Chain A
Amino acid sequence: MSFSLSETSFDPRTLILLSLCFAILVISFSSLQFLFCLFAFSVCLAALFKVPFVSTMKKMLLIDGFMVLALLSLPFTFASGSFILFLGFPFYWDGLWLAIAILLKANSIFLCFTALMGRMGLAEFAHALAHLNVPSSFVQILLFMVRYIDVLKLELQRMLRAMKCRGFRYSTSWHCWKSIGHLIGMLFVRSIERAEQILIAMKCRGFTGTFPLLHHFHYSMKDTALVSTFIAFLIVFLSIGFLLDGSFLKGGI
């Protein structure tokens, strides 16, 4: 029998808190060796939790694409340490290391979150937040958004399609901006009207302003096992960080 972490269900609260601890650890140190360790750890996590490879890679490439564009300038602007001339411009090695460090940090955090929380739906996440004593009104906002975002998306697509049928085309012109303004205005009007209907419907069902929490998560032995292993690893990384970096929280980079 093959054991797989992905099939065992953990308490979502545990997963959220562990991911947060990991993220804080990642941004606390900046030596490259340390970051490579953490990146390797998050890759292992992703493998253990059987993260879907293709879709995760796609998302990661998308994020990295954005970042690489922004980080490309770093080796040329980070004016310290030794440099070589690259096409007539000074190319600083420190800037390159900095760019790699930032990439590693972002990717480790992304992978860890995908591994631990990727299977969790937004609704479950909101539910877990409610159990973590996040104010109820915020959780309700989040839940209503999750519920109605697709409705509004369809509404917007419908209106856009109607506009296109009437011959609307995107352009850099006052006409286009005005039409888009009216489109978004209409979207806001419809969402407000929808909200009024929702409120009335909820009142009819006896809504008192709070969502009662009926389902409770259970913190089980599996969670204890996960937490203790995870924390043990984090402590090891913390000491590695101290050894390599000298001080805790000496600043992002």
Chain B
Amino acid sequence: MHIMDGIVTSPLLAGATIIAVGAVGYGLKRVAPEDIPKIALLAAAFFVASVIRLPIGPTSAHLMLTGLLGLVLGPAIFPALLASLMMQTFIFGFGGITVLGLNLLNMSLPGFVAFLIFMPLLRNELFKEKSGLDASQFLKFFALSSKTRIFIIGFCAGSFAVFGSLLMVALSLALSGQEFFAIAKFMILANLPLAFIEGLVVGVIVQFLTSLKGEIFEVNSFHQTRSLRTSSELSS
């Protein structure tokens, strides 16, 4: 799903790069020094997990996991994904440097939007907080257990992120010229099963994480920047 160098038109590239810089800046602002190891290791885990190739019928595909990363990292998904894309560029030579901003946006923006939509629901389930968006009442309507509701939230976040990324890649191709329409359409169709399976897997992961280590979803819950306590503060 990476777009290569030289395909996209320059104005689109420039625009995407500027927006991506802004997004990374916004993400970094929300990062407290204490959260840096967590963000880095989660980004590394995300990078490592993409090695796993899931068979889908006769072919195989690797998971994107941006929906999960969005839920876990929140706004910090932008710097985290930029770091992993840089590593990927360095190690494999994929993607290329000029499209870094566009690729970053295509991958992280759907993840971040998934965070904005589904995190309030998940918090509701986890911490019994009341939030503005109370669609879980709607899910309760079907008399589903809390575990199932968490799975459904994870499923939606996971598939939403993949589907969003597909749409964004297709849109970037389509904006670059009519001749890429065929590739864009083919790409969306070929990856639809992946969006579904990714949803299932992310649903399982979210369920697993909430039962084992619910506080993992609190990494992103900081809204004011905490400063790292210095040694003098610790001793006082």
Contact = CB atoms under 8 A, between A and B. Distances in A.
B189 interface: no
A167 interface: no
Interface centre among A24, A59, A148, A184 (most CB of B within 10 A): A184
Given A148-B44, A152-B45, A180-B201, A141 B39 contact: yes
Interface centre among B53, B177, B179 (most CB of A within 10 A): B179
Contact of B10 (A141, A144, A249): A249
B42 interface: yes
A62 B212 CA distance: 40
A141 B80 contact: yes
Grouping DSSP codes into helix (H, G, I), strand (E, B) and loop, the A interface class, with mixed when no group exceeds half, is helix
B49 A187 contact: yes
Interface string A98-122: 1001101110011001100000001
B216 A192 contact: yes
Interface residues of B, number: 84
Contacts of A77: 179-183
A252 B96 CA distance: 14
Contacts of B5: 23, 26-27, 102, 105-106, 109-110
A27 B98 contact: yes
Interface string B57-94: 10010010100100010000001101110110010111
Given A79-B179, A102-B6, A106-B5, A23 B37 contact: no
B96 A110 contact: yes
A202 B231 CA distance: 11
B83 A70 contact: no
A141 B92 contact: no
B166 to A, nearest CB: 15
B19 interface: no
Contact of A252 (B28, B63, B176): B176
A41 to B, nearest CB: 16
B192 to A, nearest CB: 15
B40 interface: yes
Contacts of B94: 63, 66
Interface stretch (B115-123, B125-133, B135-143, B202-210): B202-210
Given A23-B96, A138-B79, A192-B213, A252 B10 contact: yes
Interface of A: 19-20, 23-24, 26-28, 59-60, 62-63, 66-67, 70, 73-74, 76-79, 95, 98, 101-102, 104-106, 109-110, 113-114, 122, 125, 135, 137-138, 140-146, 148-149, 152-153, 156, 160, 170-172, 174, 176-178, 180-192, 194-196, 198-199, 202-203, 206-210, 249-253
Going nearest first, the 8 A-B pairs with the smallest beta carbon separation are A181-B204, A105-B6, A209-B33, A144-B40, A185-B208, A78-B179, A191-B41, A195-B37
Interface of B: 4-13, 24-25, 28, 31, 33-34, 36-45, 47-49, 51-57, 60, 63, 65, 68, 72, 79-80, 82-84, 86-87, 90, 92-94, 96-98, 176-183, 186, 197, 200-205, 207-209, 212-213, 216, 219, 227-231, 234
13 contacts: A20-B97, A27-B6, A140-B40, A141-B39, A142-B87, A148-B44, A170-B54, A176-B55, A185-B208, A188-B68, A192-B213, A209-B36, A252-B176
Given A77-B183, A138-B83, A251-B11, 4 more contacts: A62-B92, A125-B86, A184-B205, A203-B228
